[in-house]
A and B are shown apart, each in its own frame.
Chain A
Amino acid sequence: MLHILGHASRLPALPLVLLPWAVPGVIAGVIWRWMFNNNYGAINTILHALGIIDQYVYWLSKPTLALLAACIAQTWSLLPLSIILIMAALQNIPEEQYEAARLDGANSLQLYRYVTFPHIRTSVVIVALYNSLMGLTAYDIVYTLTAGGPGTATSVISYFTWTISFTHLNIGQGAALATIIALVSIVFIVGILRALPKGALSDVD
């Protein structure tokens, strides 16, 4: 669920890319359920019309494909925030460094490797950790997209905890699972907090 962008920073269509951010996870789940529908879904229809597939693919009935579908829907939801974070870092790169590197004869891959990447490394780490954390807690998309199915193929840990606690009303087991989730997420949270640049938020210490 990670996605790293190149130079999308001066993109005029950028607010359009942010739109999924305003879509609640449950609704993203409903939208993607219609996209991935086995019989009349938009993806099947488009791929069929383009001649890429001969027969409709049963996306949500096959365990691996359903998991893939959940990943794609989750990525769609998280993409805007990742773009914003990485873009903010891209805007801070001084133009002179690119010019200096170009004078030294660097090609664009080298520019990316030695000028761009060191500047955005922190943001990329934060985005990666944040997205993993969100992946760990993905709950609402799965709720409407697959309801954990087929079988238990997409029953991710948060969804599982939810069903144990509030569908099976087994609050004790649910609380135990919740504690495990909290402990695992603390690892990611501490990672994010440590990756944040010092003094980013306050003048005085």
Chain B
Amino acid sequence: MSTSMRERLEAAVRYLWIAILLVFVLTPFLVTLLASLTPDKAIISQPARWFTSGFNIDNYVYILTGKLPSQYEVEAGQRTMSMVSQEIRFLPTAMLHSIIVSLLVMAFDLILGAPAAYALVKMRIRGKGVVLNFILGTRLIPLVAVAIPYYELMQLFKLTNTLTSLVIMYVGLTLPFVILILCVAFRQIDRAIEEAAQVDGLNPLQTLVRIVVPVAAPSIVGAGLFAFMLSYCEFLFGLLLATNQSVRTMPVTMASVSVNPDVSLGLTCAGIILGVLPALIVIVPVWRYMIRGLAEGATK
């Protein structure tokens, strides 16, 4: 009897721990969503009236279409009107910039990363351990430490304030991860399949394109989307290399909005939800294809 009691206690502690974890992880999302849907007055008042003031999607409508939220119109007067800054209206454009850059980065990463990983896993190359450690190790150096030289280089090539500079930077930042993920994925491929391909007279490049890539497709999709997510979220180089409104990325725009006293809390939160959405959507396939693959791959 006492053992079953103990087991129950253990299960209870386990679920309690998971519940605490989920509350910690999810509360910030939920209150941000809440603030984006509730009139600002209700949030800012003390005590706050979170659930009793009704919900509306005015903030989202304003960001996407420019139609002024009714709460500001009703309060009227110049002062409340100035609560609504134009700045947040740039968010959709900024998201578009981020998505274009991230898609290009994803494409370049896979074109460069797949052959690199294939060669590193399947071929005998001298000094391979050094290469792998170098790829991983250099990427771990804090970006702040290398920001100045990169900035000067980009200035030298007259690439500052272009999306091109961001694509170049982010390929450099994400490629190491893509190579590592693909290394793990390619290791799992049965050697017999490749040997059969070689017997059929395929050269290494043909083997990669016709055999390895289709077999490892889920991991490749996962790695690509992971690169997309990292590029979409990158902030430091976005701020450094693309300050101009015409090329600003989503994180840079949101950072600038968040320090603008003329943007209300509700609008900021609505912007956060919209801005984070593409990356949040990507997390599910990244989880399904990449992380599970990594976890299983490590066992082999």
Contacts and interface: CB of A to CB of B under 8 A. Distances in A.
Interface of A: 5-8, 11, 13-35, 39-40, 42, 45, 48-49, 56, 76, 79, 84, 87-89, 91-92, 108, 133, 136-137, 139-140, 143-144, 147, 158, 161-162, 165-166, 171, 174-175, 178-179, 181-182, 185-186, 188-190, 192-193, 200-205
Nearest to B294: A88
Interface stretch (B108-116, B138-146, B158-166): B138-146
Given A6-B14, A40-B48, A200-B184, 7 more contacts: A5-B21, A18-B283, A19-B26, A23-B279, A24-B235, A24-B250, A88-B294
Nearest to A23: B276
A24 B141 contact: no
7 contacts: A7-B14, A11-B18, A26-B252, A39-B44, A42-B27, A92-B299, A201-B180
A203 B186 CA distance: 10
Contacts of A162: 144, 147, 236
A189 B233 contact: no
A21 B287 CA distance: 11
Q: Tell me the dominant secondary structure on chain A's binding face.
A: helix
Contact of A34 (B32, B120, B128, B280): B32
B148 interface: yes
Given A22-B229, A22-B276, A23-B233, A33 B258 contact: yes
Which 9 A/B pairs are nearest by Cβ-Cβ distance?
A137-B142, A22-B279, A24-B233, A42-B31, A182-B145, A88-B295, A178-B145, A30-B258, A24-B251
Interface of B: 6, 10, 14, 17-18, 21-22, 24-29, 31-32, 35, 43-48, 50, 120-124, 128-129, 132-133, 136-137, 140-148, 180, 183-184, 187, 229, 232-236, 240, 250-252, 254-255, 258-259, 265, 268-269, 272, 275-276, 279-280, 282-284, 287, 291, 294-296, 298-299
Nearest to B19: A13
A139 B145 CA distance: 11
Contacts of B233: 22-25
Given A8-B21, A34-B35, A174-B148, A189 B140 contact: yes
A201 B120 CA distance: 9
Contacts of A84: 291, 294-295
Residue picked from B147, B265, B269, most chain A C-beta under 10 Å: B147
Contacts of A178: 144-148
Given A31-B272, A42-B31, A189-B140, A165 B147 contact: yes
A35 B28 contact: yes
Nearest to B184: A201
B122 A203 contact: yes
A39 B142 contact: no
A20 to B, nearest CB: 6
Contact of A189 (B123, B137, B250, B272): B137
Given A26-B251, A144-B259, A179 B145 contact: yes
B10 A19 contact: no
A79 B255 contact: no
A6 B45 CA distance: 41
A4 B190 CA distance: 35
Contact of B298 (A26, A88, A165): A88
Contacts of A45: 47-48, 50
B143 A137 contact: yes
A202 B48 contact: no
A130 to B, nearest CB: 8
A174 to B, nearest CB: 6
B25 A193 contact: no
A32 B32 CA distance: 9
Nearest to B10: A108
Contacts of B229: 21-22
